[in-house]
Structure 1
């Protein structure tokens, strides 16, 4: 299939960095929340609107787990004097200090340090954006303490400064190609992803992946051409609501990612997808979370296919987590102004994760790397 020609998206209309939250009165205390994701559908090196190379990714939204932050300002303290609970969330601490400087300037108030308290049920090291979720929740909490709501672009800029690379969790669930090291949208691919049912699982027993220890690999011209081809196919899949084509793109991207990640179960994952009638697979390119993608429009008993898929994964020693759908589009959009998709997805509550129950998370308890997370 020939990919659709690449048309660089029109530059977005200018938006203010912040608007007032509520009545705009700073209270000295704020709260913020952020979701996570289920790894990538596509990740690689792409061309931006000027023809320059740019690392980018398209994530798979996941409704449910996330991070919540509270920030309390301490009058008279320097802006760098930020404490974080749990104490191991250093990126959130850097984000808080950056957000204090930004928000104080926008609000016309003196920058002050404070205390961040975080709670999260996003497992670490699985490639689900746990650190980005913490960072964004923290930035939003600081802004709220100054009576502001920062625009997504401002949140993205601060998040990248805090952790060097950021997932697009500050945006709505609309599928975008996001430059994670620059904090900018390379392309809005469409109003919503095609309908998919995802059987989630973890590779490597769920052991965390140290992304900084992974070997680097410079993208060749051939690599960039292939990533651009997959980008065009994904754009077409979103435009036509073609779940099968989207899954083909995700599988090709996952296979390319194995040149670095080298998950020993990857071939088994693909074989299970093929033998159970799935459309393809996706993985986190910086972690161990993965999913087998089903097209719910395919004829036959979907629940039976999902059950056989989970059983097959267990036989291969691959733990399953939750089974969920991609977010559905919100009604009321128009061709010229499509509405953002709903962030709520349907779940199939017969998976083992639901029998065990979710792990509780408290702000005074450090998030523990889990080998078998109940997502």
Structure 2
């Protein structure tokens, strides 16, 4: 969601505008990191980037934007917040770090080829790694519903409580599948929100 980053960026951009200062994206992101210890790539809405959220640095800018994806967003614990200022950064072990290398290559391929299914696999792998650091309640139930209705992957907030089921926006069955999945999620007491590309 990037809600805390959006708030910080809005403040930084407003102050810069008020002072008549133009700043490069990397400088803006470094200011945001200094304000909240981490931020996401919200500023880069027109371009897919691999972003070092604790450093405020773009590690890789991809050649194309992300392919069209529809998402069902589920806040797994809507009345619980994660204090991002106090949240301990993930400390990945060697096997996890080694897993990220091929995932980065697969991500590059998925974006270059507009392959939403591969993108979904990469997001799901990242979500599973993150479970060790910030588990999402009832993730398996959510993923089961997604699989039943053709979700291409699962994405999670790495410092929050949100899970997203990813769907191929170009698939003609997606609108109906999203409605059916959202209905099943509602039946088990979630309040899903649908975002269409």
Q: Aligned to 1:186, what secondary structure does the other structure show?
A: strand
Q: Deviations over 1:129-183 (max 9, x none)?
A: 2232222212222222222222212211211222222222233431111111211
Q: Aligned to 1:145, what secondary structure does the other structure show?
A: helix
Q: 1:219 to 1:302 in 2, by over 3 A?
A: closer
Q: Distance in 2 between matches of 1:323 and 1:140?
A: 26
| Residue in structure 2 matched with residue 220 of structure 1 by the alignment | 93
Pair 1:308 & 2:180 matched: yes
| Residue in structure 1 matched with residue 154 of structure 2 by the alignment | 281
1:206 is displaced (CA, Å) by 4.8
Q: Deviations over 1:204-250 (max 9, x none)?
A: 24521234665665322221110111111111000000000101111
More helix by share: 2
Instruction: Give the root-mean-square deviation of aligned CA atoms.
Output: 1.9
Q: Distance in 1 between matches of 2:119 and 2:132?
A: 21
Tell me which of 156, 165, 182 is aligned to 1:292: 165
Superposition TM-score, scaled by structure 1 size: 0.49
Q: Distance in 2 between matches of 1:281 and 1:251?
A: 5
Q: Aligned to 1:177, what secondary structure does the other structure show?
A: strand
Tell me which of 47, 57, 74 is aligned to 1:201: 74
Q: Distance in 1 between matches of 2:32 and 2:77?
A: 29
Q: Distance in 2 between matches of 1:215 and 1:160?
A: 15
Q: Aligned to 2:159, what secondary structure does the other structure show?
A: coil
5+ long unaligned stretches in structure 1: 1-127, 326-375
5+ long unaligned stretches in structure 2: none
Aligned pair count reads 197
| Residue in structure 2 matched with residue 268 of structure 1 by the alignment | 141
Q: Deviations over 1:299-351 (max 9, x none)?
A: x53221111110111122221123221xxxxxxxxxxxxxxxxxxxxxxxxxx
Q: Aligned to 1:244, what secondary structure does the other structure show?
A: helix
Structure (1 or 2) with the larger CA radius of gyration: 1
| Residue in structure 2 matched with residue 43 of structure 1 by the alignment | none
| Residue in structure 2 matched with residue 80 of structure 1 by the alignment | none
Superposition TM-score, scaled by structure 2 size: 0.91
Paired residues for 1:1-375 under 5 Å: 128-211=1-84, 217-298=90-171, 300-325=172-197
Q: Aligned to 1:293, what secondary structure does the other structure show?
A: strand
Q: 1:225 to 1:197 in 2, by over 3 A?
A: same
| Residue in structure 2 matched with residue 95 of structure 1 by the alignment | none
Q: Aligned to 1:317, what secondary structure does the other structure show?
A: coil
| Runs of 4 or more above 3 Å deviation | 210-217
Q: Distance in 2 between matches of 1:321 and 1:286?
A: 19
Q: 1:186 to 1:216 in 2, by over 3 A?
A: closer
Q: 1:186 to 1:217 in 2, by over 3 A?
A: closer
Q: Aligned to 1:259, what secondary structure does the other structure show?
A: coil
The answer as to whether partners of 1:204 and 1:288 remain within 8 angstroms in 2 is yes
